[in-house]
Amino acid sequence: MKANKRSGKNSNLILGILALIVISLAAFSVLGSKKDDEITGEMSKPAAISATDEKGDMVIQISDVSETAKFYRYDELDTYIEVLAVKASDGTIRTAFNTCQVCYASGRGYYVQEGDYLICQNCGNRFSLDDVEVTRGGCNPVPITEDMKEVTDTTITIPKELFAEAEFIFKNWR
């Protein structure tokens, strides 16, 4: 009888220790993830705007684009995709997929604007707004060039086929 009481107490002690370990691990993972955000300098990202027409193309109104980057979501596919549009210092409208050509696979290779720069939320690289759509290769947004879109006096239309081609670079987005 005494042996059964001891084994019951030991079982309760073991369960208590296991519960304490699980709670500790959960607390450390929450604190650890917050620490990671502080290390990478992650900034809050503005909500993306929907701009998809009835054909599944993205249509951006040029009058809505300014020196402050606007982010447009494309959610017609299984994968969430974002485009950024911004007016460069020369007055031209620039567009790019809001993911980094180098860091896209990390799931955090997207950009947030800080002044005249876009900051990669994975590696912290600063990228000039004037270089959007112009610079290729390296840690910068994936350009959407003139031959990939239709531009009129009032709109920029990015065809749905381009989003299907680019879907793989957004697969790991968080």
| pLDDT tens sequence across 48-84 | 888 889 999 999 999 999 999 999 999 899 999 999 9
Pick the CATH number of 49-170 from 2.60.120, 2.40.50, 1.10.10, 2.102.10: 2.102.10
Q: What is the pLDDT of residue 149?
A: 97
Give the residue from 41, 80, 45 showing the smallest Cα distance to 173: 80
The total of other beta-carbon atoms located within 10 Å of residue 108's CB is: 20
Tokens coding 109: 């290779």
SS3 163: helix
Q: What is the pLDDT of residue 33?
A: 38
**pTM of this prediction?**
0.73
The total of other beta-carbon atoms located within 10 Å of residue 13's CB is: 10
pLDDT of residue 6 exceeding 60, the answer is no
User: Pick the residue with more confidence: 22 or 116?
Assistant: 116
The mean predicted confidence, pLDDT, of the chain is 81
pLDDT of residue 18 exceeding 50, the answer is no
Task: Please state the domain extents for the chain.
Answer: 1-40, 49-170
| % of the chain with per-residue pLDDT over 70 | 74
Q: What is the pLDDT of residue 137?
A: 82
pLDDT of residue 43 exceeding 80, the answer is no
Read off the pLDDT of each residue in 131-139 and give the average, rounded to a whole number: 89
pLDDT of residue 119 exceeding 90, the answer is yes
E strand residue ranges, the chain: 49-50, 58-61, 70-74, 81-87, 93-100, 111-114, 117-120, 126-128, 141-143, 150-151, 155-158
Helix or strand holding residue 44 (H, E) = none
pLDDT of residue 22 exceeding 50, the answer is no
Read off the pLDDT of each residue in 95-105 and give the average, rounded to a whole number: 93
The total of other beta-carbon atoms located within 10 Å of residue 65's CB is: 18
User: Pick the residue with more confidence: 34 or 126?
Assistant: 126
